[in-house]
Structure 1
Amino acid sequence: MKKELEHQFVSNLEQNQNIVHKICRMYTNDQDAHNDLFQEITIQLWKAYPKFRGDSKFSTWMYRVALNTAITLYRKSKREIRTQNIDDISFKIKAHEYNDETEQQLKLMYKAVKELNDIDKALVFLYLEDQSYKEISSTLGISEVNARVKMNRIKSALKKVLNP
């Protein structure tokens, strides 16, 4: 039973790992911090996975756990992440390489988004992932109307920063 659960988890994580990488890029400034946060999110996902009931899509559940982990770690440690040893977990996940050209194109946008508060960052991230306002509100625990209003304000603020 544990092996089957582990297999399902690894499969789901490999299919959706770009979500975690994007969250890591949103909340970190260098590759080491990115790797540490990815590891910590993976551990938290694995710990929480037995409680995943399938009431929502795996990716929606994953967003919530990953964002909560990133936000919690940064609030607690003021951007110094303490991690657990992933060697304690027996599965291995193949990481996909990112295209450097795409990274450069997104760098300016990420820089502007990093200036936002933690909740607004999460909202932008989910919006850019083409999540519906209903899914965003469910993931962040806010009303759908609040998500729309906040997103409109964020768009206006980002436009001012990106197009002075």
Structure 2
Amino acid sequence: MNKELEHKFISEFQENQNIIHKVCRIYTNNQEAHNDLFQEITIQLWKAYPKFRGDSKLSTWMYRIGLNTAITLYRKSKRTIQTQDFDTVLHKIKSTDYDNTEEEQLKLMYKAIHQLSDIEKALVFLYLEDKNYKEISETIGISEVNARVKMNRIKTRLRTILNP
């Protein structure tokens, strides 16, 4: 890769790296796995960057590479992901004024999301990122109608998981 292309990649990657962190958070349960996945996605983006033609937005392209890498990595490797109980990971604030209702709801939501399939996680992730169904369908590689149908089914499934 020439120096100009390398500088462009580094600049664009730094501006958009939160996309990759969000993908990693959905597919991992601890910091070590998060770091490993982040590194693998970064490598895949680096390898693919010279072929990026700009047919889609850079963020859509990064989502697609990131999600595909995460799904492929965890499908191919039959290793188990080491997890920790949320209570041992999260820093607890000791304050009488602190209301942890929202934090507890987020923990429950992430716990429910972790029960979904890889594709379902990707759909939820993109939906939570406020991507429209056209962008979701382009990123995942399914039709827009299929994305809507799958998302409705996932919402129903999450409601069932969260409210048994």
Q: Calculate the TM-score normalised by the size of structure 1.
A: 0.82
Structure 2: stretches of 5+ with no match in the other structure: 82-90, 92-99
Q: In the TM superposition, what whole-angstrom CA distance separates every residue of 1:32-66 from its partner, at most 9, and x where no partner exists?
A: 01000000000000000000000110000000000
CA distance, structure 2, for counterparts of residue 79 and residue 54 of structure 1: 35
User: How many residues align structurally?
Assistant: 147
Instruction: Assess, with a 3 A threshold, how the Cα gap between structure 1 residues 32 and 61 changes in structure 2: closer, same or farther.
Output: same
Tell me which residue corresponds to 1:50.
50
Tell me which residue corresponds to 1:142.
142
Give how far 1:13 is off.
Answer: 1.2
Tell me which residue corresponds to 2:161.
161
CA distance, structure 1, for counterparts of residue 55 and residue 33 of structure 2: 32
Q: In the TM superposition, what whole-angstrom CA distance separates every residue of 1:75-109 from its partner, at most 9, and x where no partner exists?
A: 1102469xxxxxxxxxxxxxxxxxx7997763322
CA distance, structure 2, for counterparts of residue 103 and residue 35 of structure 1: 23
1:1-164 correspondence runs (5 A): 2-79=2-79, 106-164=106-164
Bigger CA drift: 9-18 or 118-127?
9-18
Please say which structure displays the higher CA radius of gyration.
Answer: 2
Give how far 1:161 is off.
Answer: 1.8
Instruction: Assess, with a 3 A threshold, how the Cα gap between structure 1 residues 80 and 159 changes in structure 2: closer, same or farther.
Output: closer
CA distance, structure 1, for counterparts of residue 103 and residue 17 of structure 2: 17
Structure 1: stretches of 5+ with no match in the other structure: 82-99
Bigger CA drift: 3-12 or 66-75?
3-12
Q: Calculate the TM-score normalised by the size of structure 2.
A: 0.82
Give how far 1:113 is off.
Answer: 0.7
Match of 1:136, SS?
A: helix
Give how far 1:22 is off.
Answer: 1.0
* Identity percentage of aligned residues: 77
Give how far 1:116 is off.
Answer: 0.5
Residues 73 and 79, structure 1, Cα contact 8 Å, conserved in 2: no
Residues 136 and 147, structure 1, Cα contact 8 Å, conserved in 2: yes
